[in-house]
Amino acid sequence: MDTSRRAFVKALSALPVEILTSRKLPSSSTLAATRRRPASLTEIRWPKPIGSPVLESTRPAIENSRDVFTHVDRIVEVAAWMGYEDLAMPEYPVPSGVQSTAPNDVVDLILVANSIDTAFTDFKTHVKFQVDYEGQHTSDSDAMFACLNRAMHNGLPILDGRFLAKVTRPELEKIFAGNIEMPMLDEKLEVLHQVGSVLAGKYEGRFHNFIKSGPPLLYDGGNGLVERMAKEFPRFNDVSPYDGREIKFYKLAQLGLWFAWATYRKDGPVQLNDVEKMTTFPDYIVPVALRLLGINSYSPELEHVIDTYQLIPRDSTQEVEIRAHSIYATALLREEINKIRPADLQVIIPQVNERLWTHYHTTFWPHHLTKTIMY
The one-digit pLDDT tens for each residue of the chain (375 residues) are 444 544 443 433 333 333 233 334 445 444 444 444 543 334 799 999 999 999 999 999 999 999 999 999 999 999 999 999 999 887 766 656 666 668 898 899 999 999 999 999 999 998 999 999 999 999 988 899 899 989 999 999 999 999 999 999 999 999 999 999 999 999 999 999 999 999 999 999 999 999 999 999 999 999 999 999 999 999 999 999 999 999 999 999 999 999 999 988 878 889 999 999 999 999 999 999 999 999 999 999 999 999 999 999 999 999 999 999 999 999 999 999 999 999 999 999 999 999 999 999 889 999 999 999 999
CA 305 vs. chain centroid, Å, equals 23
Q: What is the pLDDT of residue 95?
A: 57
pTM of the model: 0.86
Residue ranges of alpha helices (H) inside the chain are 10-14, 28-34, 53-57, 59-63, 72-82, 103-115, 140-153, 161-164, 169-175, 185-202, 207-212, 225-232, 251-264, 285-292, 300-307, 317-340, 349-360
Q: So what's the pLDDT on residue 38? A: 43
Q: Comparing C-alpha atoms, which of 295, 289, 280, 318 is closest to residue 28? A: 295
> Phi and psi for 215 in degrees, rounded to 5?
-70, 160
pLDDT of residue 102: 83
Between the two ends of the chain, the Cα-to-Cα distance in Å is 27
Can you say whether the dihedral through the CA atoms of 27, 28, 30, 34 is positive or negative?
Answer: positive
**Cβ atoms of 217 and 203 closer than 8 Å:** no
pLDDT at position 270: 92
Most distant CA pair in the chain: distance in Å?
A: 60
* Amino acid making up residue 282: P
* pLDDT at residue 34, rounded to an integer: 40
**What is the distance between the alpha carbons of residues 74 and 332, in angstroms, rounded to a whole number?**
11
CA distances from 266 to 21, 106, 354 (A): 41, 16, 20
All residues at 6 or more sequence positions from 168 whose CB lies less than 8 Å from its CB, including other chains: none
Residue 157: strand, helix, or coil: coil
Q: What is the pLDDT of residue 32?
A: 42
